[in-house]
Amino acid sequence: MRTELIILGVDPGLTRCGVGVIEAGAYRRLSFIHVDVIRSSIDVSQDLRLLTIWEGLNAKMDEFVPDVVSIEQVFAQHNINTVLGTAQVAGLAMVAAAQRSIPVAVHTPSQVKLAVTGNGKADKLQVERMVARILNLNKLPDPPDAADALAQAITHALHPAGELQGGEREQHLTPAQRQWAEALKKQQQNKSRMHGRGM
């Protein structure tokens, strides 16, 4: 049985949609696979921009065949047009995953910052630096959308059963995800035992 987990992270955006792919292996080892930004031109109508993002997301999912897709949760912003476009792209990512029966997870920006840096209020540069460190990258991911997508994937690797969408969470876990979740649970239990012994 394959125990490695391929996670595709999505930082949704209409102009730039970040896509990051990592592998979660044994002993919580995380490895970099791919990062890219799918771009759409502001000079064309929104339907065509969404089509460009849609085609890009489909191509990435077909190429990397992820076990799970982790998407940043969209929050209301002052610019209503920006948040609407971002929400539409997040929806496209969910549908692309659903068509392939790939579980979808959603994590908030604060959850991502906390998981990656240990600080839920970390700035973008701190996140970028920690992403590079965790994945042993020689340079910071660029542009920031790329780093955010990798951070999404990392967050889900650290919280495998956290925010899966729809139904009972455990029913949506793949065999690889279950093994990853069980390993994380055992590690947490061991830490609790050691703490209880005053170690």
Asked if residue 63 belongs to a known ligand binding site, the reply is no
Catalytic residue among 23, 67, 72, 148: 72
Neighbours of 178 (CB within 10 A): 16
Catalytic residue among 11, 67, 128, 148: 11
DSSP string, 41-82: -TTS-HHHHHHHHHHHHHHHHHHH--SEEEEEPP---S-HHH
Listed residue (96, 144, 152) closest to 123, CA to CA: 144
Measured in residues, the chain has a length of 199
44 phi/psi in degrees, rounded to 5: -120, 165
Asked if residue 128 belongs to a known ligand binding site, the reply is no
72 counts as catalytic: yes
Catalytic residue among 23, 67, 145, 148: 145
145 counts as catalytic: yes
Asked if residue 4 belongs to a known ligand binding site, the reply is no
67 counts as catalytic: no
Q: What are the binding residues? A: 11, 72, 145
List active site positions: 11, 72, 145
Binding residues for Mg(2+), as ranges, are 11, 72, 145
